[in-house]
Amino acid sequence: MILEDMYYGNWRPSEQIKSTDPEPQKVNQKISEHMEMLKNKLSEVDFEQMEVIFDLLNESTSLHSAAAFIHGYRTGALTMIEVFSEEK
């Protein structure tokens, strides 16, 4: 049950997304290829700094995704309240 999973902290919507779109896989492959290329070109220190930047970018993206999810959930809930509170 979703409510029980939410209560126990086991509900992670982002982990339930199973995309059938091949495009993200292609993009991830390109990222891996470019990262390997940079690893071979940059010094170890420079490459580590690049990895830090990517980690921060991932964190920023995650925070934005969470905010977008919360906004969407609230919008859906407000829509339901409006639908069910309309006089018939």
Each residue of 44-66: b (16+ CB within 10 Å) or e? eeeeeeeeeeeeeeeeeeeeeee
**How much is the pLDDT for 78?**
95
pTM for the model stands at 0.68
Does position 14 have pLDDT exceeding 90, yes or no? no
Please tell me the predicted confidence (pLDDT) of residue 18: 82
- In the predicted model, is pLDDT for residue 87 greater than 80? no
Taking phi over 0 as left and psi of -120 to 50 as alpha, with beta for the rest, 12 belongs to: beta
Is the model's pLDDT at 88 over the cut of 70?
Answer: no
